[in-house]
Amino acid sequence: MDTGEQWSDVDDYLAGELVTEDEALVAARALGRERGLPPIEVAPNQGAFLALVARMAGARRVLELGTLAGYSTIWLARAVGAEGHVTTVELDPRHAEVARENLDHAGVGDRVRIQVGPALDVLAELADAAHEPYDLVFIDADKANMAAYLELALRLTRSGSVVVGDNVVRRGAVVDSSSDDPSVRGARAFLRALGADPRLEATALQTVGSKGWDGFAIARVR
């Protein structure tokens, strides 16, 4: 058994022991595959992790960058509760349509707004509109712009808000300062910004599992 297979098997075991993935979550993944969306949503145990972070932070307003088929969005929408709200941003209108179907099927569509368009543009509009601050921001859109997303997210949060950035390890390539890969360069810029910004306290963890070798960063606004 190679390491990748072991990682996936352990993820399956952990999810089986600890995570309740109901019919709506399974269906959300399946519909994404059926409609040809890339299979890059968070794993079930990662979705449960996001929901736990949201609940521990007492989040009632969540901002997500990168909707895809809405799998992680369902986890977050359930975490904020019936009185909460999730704004999720998706570049591809086709993906947004699939996500809307999945969110409605899961019974959380009424607490989720899908904003379609480039995340930088949507974030700038939200910041200019001076909305009520978000309690949690999940950055899972294109990695090249992660540092820019972070700066805009800080205009949309408050003291005590949490920021989570996904896919920051890039199968270890994040340590390569000479990389020309925009996603690697974006992840490095994001991590550098997290560490240098006095408004934040942050750390990052490597992960292995069904999604391969990667990692996430988590920060709290001071």
pLDDT digits (tens, 9 = 90+) for 100-153: 999 999 999 999 999 999 999 999 999 999 779 999 999 999 999 999 999 999
- Assign 3-class secondary structure to 64-83: EECCCCCHHHHHHHHHHCCC
Say whether pLDDT at 166 is over 60. yes
- Strands (DSSP E) along the chain, which ranges? 61-65, 85-90, 112-116, 134-139, 157-166, 200-207, 214-221
- pLDDT for 2: 61
Residues 29 and 33: their CA atoms lie apart, in Å, by 6
Domains of the chain: 3-221 (3.40.50.150)
pLDDT digits (tens, 9 = 90+) for 16-62: 999 999 999 999 999 999 999 999 999 999 999 999 999 999 999 99
Average pLDDT, the chain: 96
- pLDDT for 63: 98
State what percent of residues in the chain have pLDDT above 70.
Answer: 99
Tokens of 204: 């990052």
The residue assigned the tokens 């399974």 is 26
Predicted confidence band of residue 208 (pLDDT cuts 50, 70, 90):
very high
Tokens of 43: 């794993």
Say whether pLDDT at 1 is over 70. no
Residues 131 and 61: their CA atoms lie apart, in Å, by 11
Give the pLDDT mean for 161-175: 98
- pLDDT for 4: 84
